[in-house]
Amino acid sequence: MTQAVLVVDDEPVIRHLIEHVLARAGCTVVTAGDGEAALGVLDERPDVRLIISDLGMPVLDGFALLERVRERSGPPVLILTSRGDEDDERRARALGAADVITKPFSRQDLLRVVRPHLEL
Amino acid sequence: MTGTPDDLVASTMTALADAYDQVVFLERAVRRAVGATHTADLVSLVEEAQDVMGARGSALTVGGTWLTRVPHWLRAQPRPDARTFTLSRPTGGEPPHLVAVPFEHGWVAFWGKPTPFTAGDVRLAETLAHLIASTEEALEARAERLRAEVEAHDRRTAAHVWRQVIPSTLKVPRGYAVASTLKPARDVGGDLLVTQGEWLVIADVSGKGVPAALFTGMLVSTLPLAVEHADLGAALARALHPYLEEVGMFTTLAALKLCPDGRVQYVNLGHPPVLVRHEDGEVRALPAHAPPLGTFALDRYPVSEFRLRPGELLCVYTDGLSEAERNAPDGERELFGVHRIEAHVAEHTEPGELHRVLTDAVRAWEVTDDFTLAVVQYLGDLPS
């Protein structure tokens, strides 16, 4: 049985790139373009084991999504941050982010952070 | 490219992921290259580039030295002229795909990728080669700066040592007047002019920097005991010759014992002639009568003695004066020479004046070495 990962990013290229890399690593990937859409996906897909979310997004940003997921005891959330944005990283961790992936990242970087949360 | 639209999308995404990986790698590689402190730091960049490309092997050579393990089939290759080349498959060897990129002092190669290297792989290899070349150049420049800093530190240390051991003023023996100059060619010199009791010692140590300064210190610290011996030359040779021989240095030295009654004992170990001006204006040159310290150690060193009358002069100097140079009218280089010093000595009877005339005269010449000059006048047997 493959493991479902929800990728949340308003940048389609990044979203599809992560989807592609994780799919090749054996994951089932579902995607959403903002936090609000991500919550809808979670309602429909209780099998999601991990969320990878950007921070800056329209409608509902990554911090708000993180809070809402924690409130409902949802799956662990990995946050994508930009290098040098240490305030964002601290805030994300304080809100319960399971880990942080700093952009730009390579496939190896992504899989290294994702692996401990899945059985890859 | 063949296959379904999904295949096309998948291969495009793979290419995009490859490109993204390469961009990420290069962005990090630039930062690491800037922080590199050793050429070996570049090896890990090459190994990581190998991973990014999905190659099985990589090698880097800089300045004719392989910095990585290199298979024999690659070692035999000359430095590539083109940006990439393909080798025929050696028996049992690696697949034929190979990317090799030259840079100014070496080249970098990747091989063993199951599929042909992409244009992106080649660009990555080329960019990495450029980065390695720049970093290697920066490391060389940094090493050069470090060498210069070490040399400057050595010079400062030597100057400090030298200033500690060379007295700023001479303690003139009773009954004599001295006008003198000691001017190093650089911030530290190999010349020495000191008095020790009744002895006036002038020396020219070979070499410069810390070794010369340290030896000058040794010589100065040896003098108080050496002047107690009847054979000053032998005492100095016993103390200093082994050290000089070991470090490959030597020193010329003239020592004059200026007795209150006008008697002068003198030892000259390879030093330029000491000049004596007699009352009647005649100038006598007292040449070296033993080899310089550090060359051939003798069991006994000759000590000569003569007597000065009140008003008579001695002139001692180093080759900074006698070997000052200039272009002669015939285009040849000529030396100031001992004969010009002798001529000036013959014309003057007062030490301060002779000292000034000689230092003025040599200004028209190029003095490239340390310059030391002392003019001594015997005043007579003065009451203590």
Chain B residue with CA closest to A106: the answer is B21
- Are B320 and B370 in contact, with CB atoms under 8 Å apart? yes
Judge if ipTM > 0.85: no
Q: Which residues contact B252 (CB under 8 A, 6 or more apart)?
A: B203, B204, B269, B270, B271, B272, B288, B292, B293, B318
What is the pLDDT, as a whole number, of residue B187?
Answer: 64
- List the domain range (segments joined by +) for residue A71: 3-117
**What is the CA angle B378-B379-B381, rounded to 5?**
100
User: Hey, of B12, B21, B31, B50, which one would you mutate to test binding to chain A, going by the most A CBs within 10 A of its CB?
Assistant: B21
Nearest-CB residue to B21 (from A16, A20, A106): A106
Distance CA B337, CA B344 (A): 12
Task: Write the DSSP symbol of residue A116.
Answer: G
Fold agreement (B5-146, B166-378):
no
Which domain CATH number covers A68? 3.40.50.2300
What is the pLDDT, as a whole number, of residue B334?
Answer: 92
Q: What is the pLDDT along chain B (384 residues), one digit of tens a residue?
A: 456 777 777 777 887 888 888 888 888 888 888 888 887 788 999 999 998 888 999 999 988 888 888 888 788 777 777 665 655 555 555 556 788 888 888 899 998 888 888 888 888 898 899 899 888 888 888 888 988 888 888 778 777 777 777 777 889 999 999 999 988 877 666 888 999 999 999 999 988 777 787 888 889 889 999 999 889 999 999 999 998 988 889 999 999 999 999 999 999 999 999 999 999 999 999 999 999 999 988 889 989 999 999 999 999 999 999 999 999 888 889 999 999 999 999 999 999 999 999 999 999 999 888 899 999 999 987 776
Distance CA B103, CA B130 (A): 7
Nearest-CB residue to A105 (from B13, B14, B24): B24
Interface of A with B (CB under 8 A): 13, 16-17, 20-21, 24, 104-109
B346-350 long-range Cβ contacts below 8 angstroms, 24+ apart = B346/B277, B346/B281, B346/B282, B346/B283, B347/B281, B348/B277, B348/B313, B349/B277, B349/B311, B349/B313, B350/B377
Q: Do A17 and B51 touch (CB under 8 A)?
A: no
Percent helix, strand and coil across chain A, each to the nearest 5:
45, 25, 30
Question: Among the residues of chain A, which ranges form H helices?
Answer: 12-24, 35-44, 62-71, 86-94, 107-114
Phi, psi (degrees; rounded to nearest 5) at B183: -130, 105
Q: What's the longest Cα–Cα distance across chain B?
A: 119
Distance CA B58, CA B38 (A): 19
Nearest-CB residue to B27 (from A20, A24, A104): A104
Which residues of chain A are modeled with pLDDT < 70? 1-2, 83, 120
Q: Do B16 and A17 touch (CB under 8 A)?
A: yes
Q: Do B16 and A109 touch (CB under 8 A)?
A: no
Of residues B240, B271, B253, B259, the one with CA closest to residue B199: B259
* Fold of domain B5-146: Beta-Lactamase (3.30.450)
Architecture of the domain whose range is B166-378: 4-Layer Sandwich (3.60)
Domain count, chain A: 1
